[in-house]
Amino acid sequence: MISRAVITDWAVQPGSHCPDTRPAGPPTPAAEQRARRHVQERLARRFPDLPSETLATAAAEAFAFFADARVRHYVPVLALKRAAGQLSERFAALGARGGGT
């Protein structure tokens, strides 16, 4: 049985049993650059046959789409999803027309 003291302690310090993983502030320019490189690396693994310039352009366009986002913490994940989706659509359309990559 849980004692009332434990419940009271938990109520006074909510979340003390879990580390706080929220960002302390906006990402630094260096962190944003690392995130951009990471997105390009992930795209390169997913689309190994595409030129790096195409992947860099797709990543840059995706990051530009979220340039005005107030919450910057999720921009790399959203940019990766957007770029990968656009590349998939673009090259699926080429495949449907009989074109190659």
How does the average pLDDT of the chain come out, rounded?
81
Task: Identify the CATH number of the domain defined by range 28-96.
Answer: 1.10.8
Q: Which of 20, 39, 19, 17 is nearest to 87 (CA)?
A: 39
Look up the pTM and report it.
0.70
12-22 pLDDT tens trace? 455 555 666 67
Rounded Cα distance between 86 and 94, Å, is: 12
More confident call, 36 vs 6: 36
Instruction: Judge whether residue 78 has pLDDT over 60.
Output: yes
Instruction: Judge whether residue 7 has pLDDT over 60.
Output: no
- Per domain, the residue ranges of the chain are 28-96
Question: Quick one: average pLDDT of 20-35?
Answer: 83
Question: Quick one: average pLDDT of 23-50?
Answer: 91
Question: Quick one: average pLDDT of 77-83?
Answer: 97
Instruction: Judge whether residue 5 has pLDDT over 50.
Output: no
Instruction: Judge whether residue 37 has pLDDT over 70.
Output: yes
